[in-house]
Structure 1
Amino acid sequence: MKLTLRTLKYTLMLLLAAASLLPIIWMVFGSFRPYQELFKYSSSLSPHILIPVEFTWKNYQNVIFSTRNPFLRFIGNTLWVAGAVTAAVLLINSMAAFAFAKLRFRWKPALFALFMSAMIIPGEVTLVPNYLLMHDLGWLNSYKALIIPSMLSVFGIFMLRQFFAEIPDELLEAARMDGASLPRTFLSVVLPAAVPALITLGLMTFLGNWDSYLWPLIVINDHKMQMIQVAIAAFSSTEGTDWSRILAANTISTVPILLLFLFLQRYYIQGITMSGIKG
């Protein structure tokens, strides 16, 4: 009976994994097909549904070396913005989370509840006020409009607070008795103990900014300053609906995220399980 249940469990897991990976596999193989072949075998059950008949690198050449849409520059723009936002989020939100978790100050529960209430507000509601604010500050068509408003993450504060709350107060007291100041305690004791949670928040933040589309589309007007997801949409509209090139562009944009997650997945899973956020 146990063997049967285990077999059913692993079979179900394999089916779910296959269903999740199939679109990605089709995207990768489709990026090596000519446009005329892409949908030719979509209604058949032959292996050529996935495997290209005419293997070509031309789609990647057209994407990478396009003079109208410098794709490598778009990747560099996105890496710069996503990296800057991630670094700022880790610094600012870790300090805020530490204050809410371990420091004593007036109105702390009320302030924390006010922060948490912001999580229920959809981003679309604040889109127009944020745009007007960027306009008044003169930050439109600059990376400041992408980086500075994204520095604060309410979810990041909540997640790190859950993690910091589990650090024993005796550890902080021992550091204070050894003569360590509060900033020294935060840098030398708290942050090293929170590496899994910080990596988890960093991955989430980086991925969110890497995949950002609507906000960069609104605040960035210079095409050469644009982010990668907006660039892919612009690529498809200017070059026509050449889905082979679009699949190649999507494959390129997916590779950095997959590599980042593969190298840091152990810390990511550990951070989720240790921060008290389950399910």
Structure 2
Amino acid sequence: MHRRLTLLASHLIKSKATPQIPHRSFSTMSSSKTPTDIHLYTAQTPNGIKVSMLLEELNLSYKVTELSFSKNEQKEPWFLEINPNGRIPAITDTFTDGKPIRVFESGAILQYLVERYDTEGKFSYPKGGREYWEVQSWLFWQMGGLGPMQGQANHFFRYAPEKIEYGIKRYQGETRRLYSVMETQLAKSTSGFLVGDKMTIADIACWGWTNSHDWAGVSLDDFPNVAAWVEKIKSREASARGANLSKSVRKNLTEEEKEKIAKEASAWILQGNEHTAKK
């Protein structure tokens, strides 16, 4: 694995002359940021922005490659060496032993970043403590609940070629139920965040999904504490930079514009379904 990643890293350095590697790559290097060897592979999705939000909050410099789903770049051999599951986000880095490391799955990346780079505990709690395990609980709650359920709501409401009412109601209803769980938690919070007295990776993991509630056809009108929490994080300069890192980010879309984008995306989603079914 180390040898393959080392070869891949060398290959990516030469990416300007390698057409199969996406050209939508850029660096966030700045004199005010802590330099790292992190290379983020991402796209403008609720999962994709988690990592860039945390990287910006940690004030780390990093390289970015934005993958195109319509071109199926996440399934190309070079990227499967980084994430064998062919999904974003993923990162590569130079590990503590001086050798390359890959980390995939957004929750695992968030954990990796705070355990390695959040040395002052600005977005995490000491490992093994009560707050640490509470953060872990909410992180896995998002990974196993909020993300998958709202993702299905997105699919049936926006992308499915047939409007199946059962699917729409089932997953919108489950998304609302999960929002109500967050509403109860935030109503008890004195800080306005999910755990303890500060924003953590639990908040970052959940925010991208909740912020895109309207894409799933779900309103926050019944969840005032969730709505306030969404705005609280959105107002943070670093989080806003990370959430809008993609060159393809679209803001203030009308419902007609959303439907147009969904229709365009539906084609490659269905193509991916057909490809998977043949395996």
TM-score computed with the length of structure 1 as normaliser: 0.28
* The structure with more helix, counted as a fraction of residues: 1
* Larger CA Rg, structure 1 vs 2: 1
* The structure with more strand, counted as a fraction of residues: 2
